[in-house]
Amino acid sequence: MFDWLKKFFVKEHKEKIPKCYKCGLMASHVVFMEIKTIELEETNKNILVQLCNHCHLELFQLYDKEYIPPLIKEK
């Protein structure tokens, strides 16, 4: 009886799941971004974000100049 009451009123501390900063889904990648000026001078502004697979792919599509999209196969 005591165990049942304890389980009912006391919540166990669950490990926090990292969430994507863009969409809120479960994050699977940690991305570190350095911000530099046009002359490539260092600034003190760096960004560390957690992203899910979809948002990570979107980031690469937008900013990676060497990104090659996957091939589309005809059926």
6 token code pair = 């304890």
pTM reported for the whole predicted model: 0.60
In which residue ranges of the chain is pLDDT below 50?
none
DSSP percent split of the chain into helix, strand, coil, nearest 5: 25, 25, 50
57/53 Cα distance (integer angstroms): 6
56 token code pair = 């990570």
22/45 Cα distance (integer angstroms): 19
Query: What pLDDT is attached to residue 1?
Result: 66
* Spatial contact of 23 and 54, defined as CB atoms under 8 Å apart: yes
Q: Domain-by-domain residue ranges, the chain?
A: 14-63
50/63 Cα distance (integer angstroms): 17
